[in-house]
Structure 1
Amino acid sequence: MPIDVEKVTSAPPVHAPAVWDDREVRLYHLALGAGVPETDPAELRYVYERHERGLQVLPTFGVVAGGGGGVGFQVFDLPGMDIELASVLHGGQEITVHRPLPAAARGTTVTHVPAVHDKGTAAVVVQESTLFDEDGEPLITQRNHIFVRGEGGFGGDRGPSARLPAPDREPDLTAEVPSLRQQALLYRLAGDWNPLHADPATARRAGYDRPILHGLCSFGMAVKTVTDRLLGGDAARVTGCRTRFAGVFFPGETLRLRVWETDDGYRLTATAAERDDAPVLTDARITAAPARAAAPERTAAPERTAPSHEH
């Protein structure tokens, strides 16, 4: 079997550097659709490095910090993971925020596989990765659930249920978030170079009539919307988030979000508005800390003559 469960779950963790600056943060936010309207101070907090309140960072940036396309995907370098990328789907994502992400940092990711679940016709590889700062303090921990078609049936544990249904009542917030036709091409610049998101021929071979948007991009759009509409635009309040990727979303479509406030945070779903509310994100939740006291305005940083690329 291409996945050797015992070998992959007992392998030493993979360590990888993660270095980023505000340029990468701003580019990530632009790839989510931030900056519209371009004169809105709340939007400029995501994309303007000299904003009077400082550049804020969505926690979902942590999964692409350092340009690796996603913290945790180094697991494909582990022994026992001899699989074809074409058989892999990103099934779900969980993020635990230990501390708000800085706009620039040098850090390290440590990734391992705590479990491989047997779903019968497929295997689900659970990747756990923690992003540490230069002082060794954790910033975020994430779990990716990687669905590998054709690799189940090995007699392993099916794993716990990850379902988290939405409440059976009208949502507290419904929001429609437009996307750009070139949004997948922008999001690829965060480091995820899968041609499925850019090459029409690759998309057709996968069964789609055109390239699809990255699931992590649609999830980032959802987290940003909840942050803006329900958390006072304060990304540092987000303490955790999770989702299951239930279906594809095409660049240029409108993401329809339905959000419910619950005792444990916010539940949400996302659908493709133009395709009869076809599911995109399900079993999703965002947890948040209480609102903080207003911070004093800071002095804007001096102008830079050129962006720094020193790592």
Structure 2
Amino acid sequence: MPLDLAVVGRERPPVKRSWDSAAAILYALGVGAGAADPAAELEFTTETDGDRVQRVLPTFASVLVPGRLSGELGTFDRSRVVHAEEELTLHRPLPAAGDVVIRSRVAGIHDQGSAALVVVEADFDDATDGQTIATVRSGLFFRGEGGFGGARAPKTAWARPERQPDWSSTYQTRPEQALLFRLNGDRNPLHADPGFARRAGFPRPILHGLCTYGFAGRAVLRSFAEGDPGRVTSFAARMSAPVLPGEQLTVNIWQDSPSTAVFQVTKPDGTVVLDRGRAGVRVEEA
């Protein structure tokens, strides 16, 4: 059964979502914080204690989005769906514990030929004052669901600078990285079940694209945003190749302007696994 194009633009019922200090810490651990040096990122991996105030990695917002693979899209084979792209806009920093109302919708279904690209948008409104904290825009690639005669997704300009990166960080993912990251809520068996992964065309379970995205977010935060999550205003990337848990990732970042940077994430053999990365930070006025 093809995807139901009639769902595009339809608002879903609002969903209330809460998180606490432990959930934010679990996310940080799931994207490698503290793995190389347990004392290096304590503001993200431990709760508020004395002079230390817990802070939240900006990309944590992406794991709070409910129901990307909602049944309203129609009947489809979950083994044929992969996360293709993610874009985050932060209107203010995420608190260590929070209550939000999430308003989401299918913003578009694009015909990419052999596949359909389904775009889901979600706004996070503070449950207390109603102000929007964050907006997340996710692209899901439904293999085999293209060819329905729709428009292709619009292209955005992006080019890798012809110079050495301004910052480069290398991280070692762990063999059990996907098993840890899935505790943030994405229980897709593609990341845990060997049989399901083989049916999807992979030799073994792969790492969540959002996990790789979180590793990249840590690198951009530490370098371009000078370690201050309150400065991060946007973060986006395209998942271009799978990562197996235990593989090494290198995040290369080029500053584009005082408030913007572009980045890529590669494996040791040069394979680009996150492409067309873009990040924005708030620049302090003189």
Is 2:243 the counterpart of 1:249? yes
Q: CA–CA distance in 1 between the matches of 2:162 and 2:70? A: 39
Distance 1:210 1:292, change over 3 A: farther
Contact 1:75 1:112 in 2 (8 A): no
1:185-196 equivalences in 2 (<5 Å): 185-196=179-190
| Residue 162 of structure 1: how far off its partner (Å) | 3.7
TM-score if structure 2 supplies the norm length? 0.93
Contact 2:80 2:200 in 1 (8 A): no
Q: CA deviation at 1:177?
A: 1.1
Q: Counterpart of 1:212?
A: 206
User: Is 1:4 the equivalent of 2:14?
Assistant: no
- 1:272 is the counterpart of 2:270: no
| CA positional deviation for 1:215 | 0.6
Quote the residue 1:120 is aligned against: 113
> What SS is found at the alignment partner of 2:220?
helix
Give the letter aligned to residue 184 of structure 2.
A
Deviation of the 1:160 alpha carbon:
0.7
Instruction: Determine the C-alpha separation between the residues in 1 that align with 2:114 and 2:201.
Output: 19
The aligned counterpart of 1:288 is 281
**TM-score of the aligned structures, taking structure 1 as reference length:** 0.85
Question: 1:211, CA displacement in angstroms?
Answer: 1.4
Residue type at the aligned position of 2:96 = A
Residue 10 (structure 1) shift: 4.5
Work out whether 1:90 is the aligned partner of 2:83: yes
Question: 1:75-224, aligned counterparts within 5 Å?
Answer: 76-78=70-72, 80-135=73-128, 136-162=130-156, 164-224=158-218
Q: Which residue of the partner structure matches residue 13 of structure 2? A: 14
Could you tell me how far 1:25 is from its partner in structure 2?
0.3
The 10-residue stretch of structure 1 (134-143 or 20-29) with the greater mean CA deviation from structure 2: 134-143
Query: Any stretches of 5+ residues in structure 1 without a counterpart?
Result: 66-70, 294-311
**SS at 1:23's partner residue?**
helix
Report if the CA contact (8 A) 1:162-1:283 is conserved.
no
Task: Note if contact 1:62-1:140 (Cα within 8 Å) is conserved in structure 2.
Answer: yes
Q: 3-state SS of the aligned residue for 1:267? A: strand
Q: Does 1:262 align with 2:260?
A: no
Gaps of 5+ in 2: none
User: Quick check: which has more Rg, 1 or 2?
Assistant: 1
Distance, in Å, in 2 between the alignment partners of 1:84 and 1:11 is: 23
